[in-house]
Structure 1
Amino acid sequence: MGGIVWLLCCDFAVFLTTSLASAYDNIAFGKSAWQQHPYGEILLFSFSRQDVPDWKSATWRRSRFPVRYYYSTEHWKAYKAVDGAFTDLSANGYQCTVSENAKQTATLWVDLGRILSIRYITIYYRTENEEWDFSNQYTKRFLGFSVHISNSTNREDGILCFKDTNYTRATIPNPAKIECLKYGRYVIYYNERIQGVTYPDGYSKYAFNELCELQVYGCPTSGVFGENCNVPCPQNCQEGHCNIVDGTCLGCVAGYKGSRCEEECDNNRYGFECKLICGNCSDGEQCDHVNGSCPNGCDFGSQGDICDKECPVGRFGFNCQDICSINCGVPGTCNRVTGQCEGGCQKGWKDMQCDKKCDRGMFGLNCNQSCGVCLGNEQCHHINETCMDGCDKGYQGMNCAQACPNGLHGYNCDETCSADCLVQKSCDAITGQCSACPNGLHGYNCDETCSADCLVQKSCDAITGQCSVISSDSETNSQCYPSLYGVVSTLCLSLALNIFLLIWISRNRVCKGMCQEEKSTKQLSTEHSKPNTEIYDKVEDNAGYQELGQISQPSHYDKLH
């Protein structure tokens, strides 16, 4: 019954493999192959590390390692696994590879000649033409095998296509069909029985390589996919390789992602599989998706082709173009991004980058000291406080912070106070005006004499010269009390105006009466044709009226003193 099941399974596997692989070529057929520990290998020669024969040139050559020469029979060499003959699965049929006994590892690889896309791999294992079931002793040798795809003969350089971890002597198939949608140049069969490692029940004690045929189905040319291998792979597939069935890329060229490698890297990533992280590009923009370069240069604090290097000491800013200030607390040392000086600024400098001198009347460390009184209130030297053009009035010294001593005044205290100043030639340090004058003197330099009419020792105000006390018999009181004369003058003017107004009103009334009498006289003259002289006599006899502007009698105002 078991034999019938095995035959059915075997026939189904062959049918399935044939139907699936019929559209693809066996790209391993007739290719170069190699196996580890071939059976029948005989050691012919062994040489130490010294001189060894060079058979081609018939000379001796130096060797760093021991050299051994073997002979191996042709019956079971590696090429037997790719010669297309597998009708006889026994050793004596000479269609299978056979490896040496008692070995811990067994390896066989096939070189496809170049990197190609693979669909399936089929392995026919040695059966000695006996029924393939639990009772077949070769099943335990086949258990635990693995298949690798690599671009070198080292399986560890490639990828694992299949590893048996579940089969038993009753379930392991033969032929074994392996779906392997990979691409590579070398197809490597491997098995091991490492001493000291515990393997599942049913495994053989040693590793064997007894492949009767290793078939690799895929496209014979690269860069295509489909059942007829006539559809080009997407443009950005890595090395032009894609899934042999649906055309999805098995890897993307640098800078692209997605199943068909149609999307550029983003999110600040670039390179193969978009695994690399962009540098510090200007304004945080995306770097070139392929090579990582920054299209608009590096952001503040970075440099290099991909802006992945920090500014060196002494430089900062955009593309590290700026130089740290020598006025920093530590000269030439600053923050690589902002340029802010480390340790603050040296004396006389301020701001974050210590690139501005102290101003507004300040100097020194941190610009927290006040300048002296420089000429014209100009800024002192930002470091040492000196006034470049000297001191303003009233001050002296290198920093113009010292007031003039007694007796001196003016610019840089170069002028002497007047000798007439009362207190030790003391005067105002700025104007030079005496602080006090001796009795009897006044004025800017105490060089003017107080009025002789001042009552107390000719004492007067040192600045205005006004008497402190006025003499009672002074005839020149106007010199002492100018304000009194102002008041008197105002009163006199007012009195004169009032008198003039009264006279004008009186004369106006007299003139009006005379005009009326003259009119009456003319009427009488007309009537009697004789002038009336009485009227004129009366008028002339009136002592109160004379010509306009004249007063016959003295006015009582003339008596005002």
Structure 2
Amino acid sequence: MLFVIFYMGLLVFSNAYDNVALHMPSYQSYPYKGNVIYDAANAVDGLKSNLSIDGGQCVVSAAGYETATWRVDLLSVHYIDHITLYFMTNNQHWDELNTRISSYLGFSLYVSNSTDRLNGILCFKDIEYNKSTIPEVFNTTCRMFGQYIIYYNERLPGVDYPSDYNDDAENDLCEVEVYGCPTLNPDCDVWDPMMCACLVCKPSYMDMEPHHETTDWPVGSYGYYYDEMCGHCKDPTQCSPGTGICLTGCSAGYFGPSCKEECHIGNYGYNCNETCGHCNDLSQCSTTNGICHTGCSYGYTGGLCKKECNIGLYGFGCYDTCGHCIDPAECNHVSGTCRTGCAAGYRGRLCIEHCYVGHYGYNCNETCGHCFDPAQCSNVSGTCRTGCEAGYSGRLCKNECNIGLYGFGCYDTCGHCIDPAECNHVSGTCRTGCAAGYRGRLCIEHCDVGHYGYNCNETCGHCFDRAQCSNVSGTCRTGCEAGYSGRLCKNECDIGLYGVLCYDTCGHCIDPSECNYVTGTCRTGCAAGYRGRLCIEHCDIGHYGYNCNETCGHCNNATQCSTVTGTCQTGCEAGYSGRLCKDGSCYFFFFYILLEIWVVFLISNYFEGNQLSFYT
């Protein structure tokens, strides 16, 4: 009867969990302004009537950090049943318009026996809440042993967080309540921390039946008659004789209060707190030691398959060698892909394929230059191993020949182009034609005799020696032929001049403009009074007129016949009259005789002193 009363007492005590965090030491990583009004202790002061930032009942952390940590020290290891969090609401309605909500999304809760959360057990990790679903008072069951309760959140660079999350990590909590068993009663001989009850009291405290006063029950059994087998306790002597609970935890491969449940697939070790590595078959991960019985999945090695392949290796068993990655450390240990691209000369997903002909460099993104043989372009550096095509130079054969050079190796000198920059760097042809004095495709041939100028398109003038016509300027170096003048000997002599250098004066041509500028001959004949090829000879006596074609009349003195007009300057012979003395008459002859007599008479009287009047 006494045992029944005792067991019922246990049932009553088992539901009497206390807030073991109340007024316990607390800590936060980045305090806000160092002011006590925002202190970490506000979350375990038992006050939660004012949930605003400046109400003095909430923890406030500094903004602008990538991580935020708050923790409470329970001072000794306790059995934890559940945890309650009161978030800061700023005393506003808790909905998606509340600006505080986004800072809590993604938070985690750890239970640990040290201040390092990574040495503890993850109790809760938010991966589902958003602004509309996260509660303002959060509860989670967390049945495990521990001394430190750690609240953690992060906003790490390079991580793509949901749109509801804020930018900074914060730990603004108004109250954290940790419900679990209080510390051991000093009057208890055997304490069950999960039941929060004394299984066996000290003899001085309660007079119980002999087999309840002793702790000498069979190891490995429990129950009133010790007919229940304990689970896989880490320490078999620490199996609770009343409940079968393993007081110091489970041996490797088991979990639960009684350590009778095998680890779930993917977990192993004491209390199943370890996570299996990358086993090829996760169901073949040993729940005891985590060894992968069927080997590792792609990219991992070692007995626990937690070690990534060494740099330069990948794949199943890490047997495959990475390709030519720019950075060998960036070869994906699972697939072998090069995360930062291929080294010079290689392409493809695995960077094991050589560049196509005509390409080189990182990821084969560069195009080869003008190699003489494209197949001899180095896929790594782009160097043309057998030289360049005509017209190009340099290691990569991407440089056109310098102005004035062309051909293979740019060793050939361009001809006489009008514009040297227009010499084709490949063939040497002058795209805009040849300079003065040269012709041909390459403009290296001198003009033929008698030609000069650009592309030899000009014809030399009347040079005295055609071979002495400059093929550049057309200048006649040894002078002009007769009848021409000027530097190019293309100008005919001026009217009235002829011959070499036009130094000779034309004769008496009928038309001076018809004086041949070469020979001086008068093409339309001589002017009156002149004859001969050059019209510079006077007419013979007895002739006059154009080309001296006219015969003088009966001049009294033949030498006095004008060679120009035929006029007899001293009169006509007897019997002739007229300006040209070509008209014959008796009357005139008689008159002429009388005139002569009269003249003789006058002369004789003059000498005799007699003066006669013509009218007397």
What TM-score results when the alignment is normalised by the length of structure 1? 0.35
| Larger RCO (CA under 8 A, 6+ residues apart) | 1
What TM-score results when the alignment is normalised by the length of structure 2? 0.33
